[in-house]
Amino acid sequence: MNNLLRICVLLIIVIAFSCNDNGSNNPMFTDNFDRGNMLEFWADEIIIPAYNSYSNSLQDFSQKTDTFFSDPTPSKLQALRDAWLAAYLDWQSVSMFEIGKAEETSIRNFTNIYPTDIDLINNNLLSGNFNLVLPSNFTAQGFPALDYLLFGSQNSDEEIFDYLLQDDVSSYFISLVDRLNSLTTAVLDDWNGDYRNTFTSNIGSSATASTDKLVNDFLFFYERFLRAGKVGIPAGVFSGSEEPGLVEGKYSSVYSKQLFEKGFSSIVSFFNGISFDGQAQGSSLNQYLDWVFQESNGAFDIAQDINEKWANVELALSNVGDNFGQQVMDDNSKMLALYDELQRAVPTLKADMLQALNIQIDFVDADGD
């Protein structure tokens, strides 16, 4: 065999090995897992039901808004606050699904960028001329802005009650609620229209395939919005100084742990294929990884490792108080411990899982693994 032929043979072998590398011990392993079945379960049992629940919560919030402003009483203010919290919690179940119309409309940026910009809100109130569709108003709307208006805009509940009844404030409040509803309606209508079939039929393995895109969305939410946004940034992991004012739900103060818990449980349920109503279990990333593990005679059970790390997150969370901001001020070591447990899962998710499933990361990691 001459040298040229020998080189060609070696190249063919290398290409065969690399193209079939799924993080397994078997270089000739071929991935024929039924992605279509998994996508259908995601769409029909998790994503669409979650959006339906969120939409229903927003509609109730809208109704409570109308009821309060048409005939305001202190008890109706409390009902309005309760409806805000219910919708905010339901938002946590859909936030990771930044795909389709949600990606097109940047729904997360318009819904939950915190801390809210009080100066921008006040400027909008003073001018009465604001456009909530503009990205420049990301930080003056959504749940964080409503959190400020409902809980932090004045020094007492009595003063907040009177403040909300001012014409400019009530008009702005109603506009914020309407904006949340219009964004959600657009996304849900898209899923109930053609997008559901577009999503479930895109079963390939490429950067534009549904599985690859949604897995990246799932990881991005976990790393940036759950691990960093809800825990790491307030705890000062990235800045080197504690930032209790940067917690989610800053002004209501006691709901930051609930918001984290709902986001985290949504992550765990999605990974393990638990339906939104908790009544069914279907095709999932856990099953996908188990299938790869069995088919390729893998030496490392990735799915088990991820769930074990998340069990440690639950243990660390049990030591943290309801108010993350207060926890940072009182004993930040417990917040840092929670962050550390969240972080321990990142390399397994981003390196081991993605290699096993032959998925490329599509976002830039600014703070390292």
Residue pLDDT, tens place only, 278-293: 999 999 999 999 999 9
- pLDDT at residue 6 tops 80: no
Say how far apart CA 362 and CA 215 lie, in whole Å: 10
Q: Please give the pLDDT value at position 296.
A: 81
Q: Please give the pLDDT value at position 29.
A: 55
Reference 21, options 298, 210, 215; nearest CA is: 298
Q: Do 180 and 87 contact (CB within 8 A), yes or no?
A: yes
Domains within the chain, CATH numbers bracketed: 30-357 (1.20.1420.20)
Say how far apart CA 214 and CA 202 lie, in whole Å: 11
- pLDDT at residue 28 tops 80: no
Say how far apart CA 96 and CA 4 lie, in whole Å: 51
68-126 residue pLDDT tens: 999 999 999 999 999 999 999 999 999 999 999 999 999 999 999 999 999 999 999 99
Task: Quickly tell me which residue has 């993605």 as its tokens.
Answer: 354
Say how far apart CA 77 and CA 164 lie, in whole Å: 10
221-256 residue pLDDT tens: 999 999 999 999 999 999 999 999 999 999 999 999
- Strand-pairing partners, residue 162, are none
41-74 residue pLDDT tens: 999 999 999 999 999 999 999 999 999 999 999 9
Q: Please give the pLDDT value at position 31.
A: 76
- Using pLDDT thresholds of 50, 70 and 90, give the confidence band for residue 19: very low
List, as own/partner pairs, every contact residues 297-304 make where C-beta atoms lie below 8 angstroms and the sequence separation is at least 24, other chains included: 297/24, 297/25, 297/26, 298/23, 298/24, 298/25, 298/356, 299/25, 300/352, 302/23, 302/348, 302/352, 302/353, 302/356
Separation in Å, CA 188 to CA 50, 55, 192, 217, 306: 10, 8, 6, 18, 31
- Using pLDDT thresholds of 50, 70 and 90, give the confidence band for residue 23: very low
Residue type, 100: G
- Strand-pairing partners, residue 278, are none
CA 238-239-243 angle, to 5 degrees, is 105
Q: Please give the pLDDT value at position 26.
A: 45
What's the whole-model pTM score?
A: 0.91
90: exposed, middle or buried (Cβ count in 10 Å: 0-12, 13-18, 19+): buried
Token reading at 341: 């447990």
